[in-house]
Structure 1
């Protein structure tokens, strides 16, 4: 990564698909190159230059786009899906979690489940789509810690939307608002995430009248999670 040069697309000899990243003292600009597509301007701007932060955002936001392009040429979608599932399982087992792989509830879906730190996780892949839907259930405190790994870095001081109904919903909204957009759904529960990257929703409380303690049961679904990003989170999600 060139941290001083102005934006420039990759040259003719750049491998396909590929990435180019240029940076200044405060911002990193990233473009991706695909078959029949040359980046003429940045596809993504990150207001960070630390290598770890940039790598995280590439895993979270960029690689799913490249993987989706590559998946369009696959002939055997079921095999590719099971191979990705095996990679997820291997990463989680390497951290000590026991995994269970199964056919999904819908046609052409496959899933894997595991438990860690009081949470039960389920990752589902659909067709040849290389991004996963993640569901996790467990005590509110553990769920709050888990969902934060999928979202932009926190920025304390972001406002919490007014008028959130439900004790658990208000508690979760205070956490999610630090990471970006959050709003209440018509049937209670919360929606969070906007723009590129993972997004999802918080299920309504099992008991709307109950207080929202650290051990109150909570359930969250996160969509649009790249497999590489999920694997990178194994040390946080499977210990």
Structure 2
């Protein structure tokens, strides 16, 4: 790493503005002490105890989870700077994978005096934050629940669809469940899915799976009644007809479905809250 005066990364301020505030604190850009790549503009973003490093190098904007401790370290997110709306594309990936990874790392910390129950307490505070925002947006029947696996949040939309955000253990991320018309997922899915070129799975599966694949090519048919998506480092889950008794040979936006999505970060849910009511 270089120790001379480091120029700030121009994308850092714009990126900070696209990430949601947490507990009344926005992300704050500040000068970096080191250039991660020699001479490359570099800035640090901080929010409470979370840190991201932004650098611009060789036509790319890179995100590092922290100042790398090894020459073999790699950025956790990269976008070509020439990509249309490059900073927005990068922000979406930070919400999709980078911040959830930071939260999971914090949840796994087992240093002296660490109580795993603190993880559930922290997740409960995050759900309270989401609950206030959903209330302001008009969510109906908003209810805070306590399950054996941890705190949860439940509400309904104006269309009668039901959402649940569940803790399900000691990870830093959440599981989202949905029951309602498939169109109720159309606002959230772009936040969850990495952009993928192509026409989707429109030549295979059932009318139900083709209906979804035509709109979201990242959704892959599992069988005639179900599609799935995602990887271990991103939100992953399924969307299915509520029963095998439901005929998959006809589908429209009002078709009723059940969905479950795991590995979802609270920052993504806060950013996408308007799509959840």
TM-score (norm 2): 0.69
Please name the residue that 2:256 is paired with: 217
Query: 1:169–1:205: 8 Å Cα contact kept in structure 2?
Result: no
1:175 partnered with 2:215: yes
Q: 1:87-126 deviations in whole A, cap 9, x for unaligned? A: 221121121213111123xx32321111224232111012
Q: 1:42-69 deviations in whole A, cap 9, x for unaligned? A: 2222244633332232122111111112
How far did residue 3 of structure 1 move?
Answer: 5.3
Flag the structure with more relative contact order, 1 or 2, with Cα contacts below 8 A and sequence separation at least 6.
1
Question: Do the aligned partners of residues 25 and 94 (structure 1) sit closer, same or farther apart at CA in structure 2, a change above 3 Å counting?
Answer: farther
The residue matched to 2:65 in structure 1 has which SS? strand
Query: 1:134–1:223: 8 Å Cα contact kept in structure 2?
Result: yes
Please name the residue that 1:89 is paired with: 131
Structure 2 CA distance, aligned partners of 1:61 and 1:140? 24
Please name the residue that 1:185 is paired with: 222
Please name the residue that 1:208 is paired with: 247
How far did residue 37 of structure 1 move?
Answer: 5.0
Q: Name which one, 1 or 2, has greater alpha-carbon Rg.
A: 2
1:18 partnered with 2:51: yes
Aligned residue pairs: how many?
229
Unaligned segments of structure 1, at least 5 residues: none
TM-score (norm 1): 0.79
Query: 2:95–2:265: 8 Å Cα contact kept in structure 1?
Result: yes
How far did residue 159 of structure 1 move?
Answer: 4.0
Unaligned segments of structure 2, at least 5 residues: 1-7, 12-34
Structure 2 CA distance, aligned partners of 1:153 and 1:117? 29
Q: 1:120-146 deviations in whole A, cap 9, x for unaligned? A: 211101233221111122222222333
Structure 1 residue corresponding to 2:92, chosen from 27, 34, 56: 56
| Larger deviation, residues 214-223 vs 186-195 | 186-195
Q: 1:181-235 deviations in whole A, cap 9, x for unaligned? A: x322258411112363211111135412552122111222211110111111112
| Larger deviation, residues 188-197 vs 92-101 | 188-197
Query: 1:168–1:205: 8 Å Cα contact kept in structure 2?
Result: no
Query: 1:141–1:215: 8 Å Cα contact kept in structure 2?
Result: yes
Question: Do the aligned partners of residues 14 and 132 (structure 1) sit closer, same or farther apart at CA in structure 2, a change above 3 Å counting?
Answer: closer
